Chain A
């Protein structure tokens, strides 16, 4: 399953720019007063406004999660008192940890499985030459243009049918949703990994082969360890995408409360109920945002390095 098609940021080269003597030469001592504002000050103002815009909703959420009144009506700019009542209430009235666990389980499991399936396919496309290789690569690219969520009706009816034969993987089961997510395994990630595998020198394979390694061993012992960065990237992108996935989860998991992911569970909890449930919801939103936020902030370097060396897109 491709992460959202927008790839992660390319690294900025600001340090290079600073180190560039030509730029350093133009670096004059900071001007003063009106001139300072005209040249630099407004830039700080812009940055401040942009940061305020970016963080305002987060501020309101943090505020609401610790405000004593559980309703939206209690919103004010500064909390009069700080309380954990909303958190307590969230855990009382919703199976929040179950939802979070479901999300981590389904998205995490599917991300790892997708990563493995993708890596295997990428190995074949990168290292082997066979009839249909070009067609296969093109097919993957083509199929990727039609995201699964567009076929949501068909997938729903399909799993309803499957339930008739195999209740364990049919409509209303997490295993069914997990399997559906596997359908997106061969996608952009395959291309991403193939690009990376292509950069691993084939001399390594050759010498391993001379030493008697099979393709399976070359794949597991040489290519996978050397490609750890791109595996992490693909896994992370996949995980973030699946953690966010709403449409298939909402139609395939059925109505049972304990069966929901964080996305569908919180939606069902808060939809139509903003007035009453805002406080507990804010608490849940804060906790639920942490996994991807942390992954993103700490994994950013990996993501960036992996993407730039993987030569992703044409």
Chain B
């Protein structure tokens, strides 16, 4: 393994306490020579593995750097370099023993868990989403590149769309007001002589290459033809008496074309985009260049919008209402799932906890099956079983119950169904742990209670249950926490539906926060809203943090670390 020391001296180093006040291992310096003698081949293998490992790491890093450097991607470059140097330093130094064991997992943790959590918090403050995907620079480039327009008094041409039969590329045969003829291709404009145009009418061949589009072809490729533009150089622009802004000769109709100028310019000082033809100023407002009259330039760009997403969640009526429902249902779902599985599991455990019953081992194995099956599979299976028109449950009992899609009473029936399925998934597990916990409670305790005159219920309520809860309490909290984010059951069973009406966001009656956030990001009806989704995720983070804090305070887990 790569963490082995290079030589005998490494061993003596390793045997030293690695720092910190709690070092409990005594130094074994006197043994160093003996150790070195006996290490020989072993540490050579260690060295070999270490060098191979570091070789691969550094090789990959070099490749990464050679990819990133030309792209001027400084941030990822920095990450790669720092991570690689850290690995090299840790494994080549003799003073970093604990880190040799910790650093691989730590790097994975930082990159794929800590960073995403922080990034989520950041995205929650942005407008990242459909329409605002690009960075500001990219958006400006797009806007400026796409924005040409034909000013009044521009030079106009008679134009014939041409096609090259060899590869289907388009071109234009252009005649300017003076009667000069040009061939315009996607590469630029070239003057042509009489001789370059052979034939008459439909049989014209231009520059031995192009022929006019037939009517049918023109219809077929209408969009392409109308979008076609011939870039023109500054010299050409001067020829046509156009300003230096002249950008291209763009097709106006099938038979005309005109010189178009770039109308939009980025004002480097103010950061605004200015329309030089119309004289309108577009200022960046929340990721979109917007004029005073409200006109906008697309695409927008992603930018920090502060608490806008949170404000939307809390104040926008169309979002607040559904969000609040999802919020409440998330707690109800987690709590009820925990309670129903616990109660059924306990009841079963008590019923079957009788030594006279035969086949308890078999029963236990059978009851755990729902828990042992992959949950994505069982959720999909139940979705079929509860299908309104085809589902075996309805067909067997001759029913027509919309188990998963009823809108009535705020989706009460789908909510019931989802709890039922979750009960089915979890009761076997609760049965097992309750059986274990029950049998760990000494029977003399309940018997003593009965001798003292307690009824069966009183003995259960005051003796058995408290003892039981001590044992299974932490597992109940874990169950609640798990169901709080139980995405699979909700998403695969109902997809979060049936939808809550009157909201622009995809919220459903059975959605819990995590599935709601997922659908905002990846299934949005009005596009993907990463910003809002990340804000919802951040809200879940906060809730989880509060639970964890309470949980930590109530358990002794912090004191147990030694």
Contact = CB atoms under 8 A, between A and B. Distances in A.
B111 interface: yes
Given A165-B73, A216-B1, A50 B390 contact: no
Interface string B6-24: 0010110011011110111
Contacts of B561: 134, 137-138
A289 B518 contact: no
Given A129-B20, A148-B116, 9 more contacts: A6-B429, A12-B435, A51-B363, A72-B387, A145-B545, A151-B119, A186-B105, A251-B518, A292-B372
Nearest to A74: B390
Interface in B75-109: 76, 97-98, 100-102, 104-106, 108-109
Given A7-B475, A145-B548, A57 B120 contact: no
A185 B113 CA distance: 10
A215 interface: yes
Given A154-B120, A266-B377, A121 B105 contact: yes
A14 B117 CA distance: 45
B355 A51 contact: no
Interface in A108-143: 117-118, 120-121, 123-124, 128-131, 133-134, 136-138, 140-143
B487 A153 contact: no
Interface of A, secondary structure class, is helix
Contacts of A93: none
B357 interface: yes
Contacts of A262: 374
B544 interface: yes
Nearest to B552: A141
A179 interface: yes
B166 interface: no
B173 to A, nearest CB: 41
Interface string A22-34: 1100010010000
B12 to A, nearest CB: 10
B127 interface: no
Nearest to B558: A138
7 contacts: A60-B381, A72-B391, A133-B98, A145-B545, A263-B376, A274-B384, A297-B372
Interface in A266-314: 266-267, 270, 274-275, 278, 281-282, 285, 288-289, 292-293, 296-297, 300, 313-314
Contacts of B98: 124, 128, 130, 133
Contacts of B474: 313-314
A136 B18 CA distance: 15
A11 B351 CA distance: 18
B367 A46 contact: no
A68 B221 CA distance: 49
B10 A9 contact: no
B439 A182 contact: no
B442 to A, nearest CB: 10
A73 B384 CA distance: 11
A219 B117 CA distance: 32
Interface in B506-562: 514, 517-518, 521-522, 530, 533-534, 537, 540-541, 544-545, 548, 555-558, 560-561
B470 interface: no
B314 interface: no
B482 A6 contact: yes
Contacts of B303: none
Interface in B350-394: 351-352, 354-357, 359-360, 363-370, 372-378, 380-385, 387, 389-392
A43 B368 contact: no
Interface in A31-83: 40, 42-44, 46-47, 50-51, 53-55, 57-58, 60-61, 64, 71-73, 75, 77
Nearest to B435: A12
Given A157-B128, A297-B365, A185 B557 contact: no
Interface residues of A, number: 120
A10 B433 contact: yes
A148 B518 CA distance: 13
Interface in B316-362: 348, 351-352, 354-357, 359-360
A4 B15 CA distance: 38
Contact of A5 (B120, B384, B481): B481
A156 interface: yes
Which 5 residue pairs are nearest across A and B when measured between Cβ atoms? Answer: A183-B112, A72-B390, A216-B4, A314-B557, A9-B432
Contacts of B36: 212
Interface stretch (A84-92, A227-235, A242-250): A242-250
A255 interface: no
Interface in A152-177: 152-158, 162, 165-166
Nearest to A142: B548
B226 interface: no
A274 B521 CA distance: 26
Nearest to B113: A183
Given A60-B385, A216-B4, A289 B113 contact: no
B406 interface: no
B46 to A, nearest CB: 6
Contacts of A158: 115-116, 119
A136 B439 CA distance: 37
B14 A215 contact: yes
**Which of A43, A141, A151 has most chain B Cβ within 10 Å?**
A151
B432 A12 contact: yes
User: Which of A54, A263, A285 has the largest number of chain B CB atoms within 10 A?
Assistant: A54
Nearest to A60: B392
Interface stretch (B37-45, B182-190, B457-465): B37-45
Interface in B472-492: 474-475, 478-479, 481-482, 485, 487-488, 491-492
B154 to A, nearest CB: 39
Given A23-B443, A209-B28, A214-B5, A263 B374 contact: yes
A275 B545 contact: no
Contacts of A184: 112-113
A220 interface: yes
Contact of B368 (A246, A267, A296): A296
A45 B83 CA distance: 62
Given A148-B116, A267-B492, A296-B372, A281 B514 contact: no
Nearest to A145: B548
Contact of B436 (A11, A53, A243, A313): A11
Given A11-B436, A131-B19, A157 B119 contact: yes
A203 interface: no
Contacts of B533: 153
A244 to B, nearest CB: 5
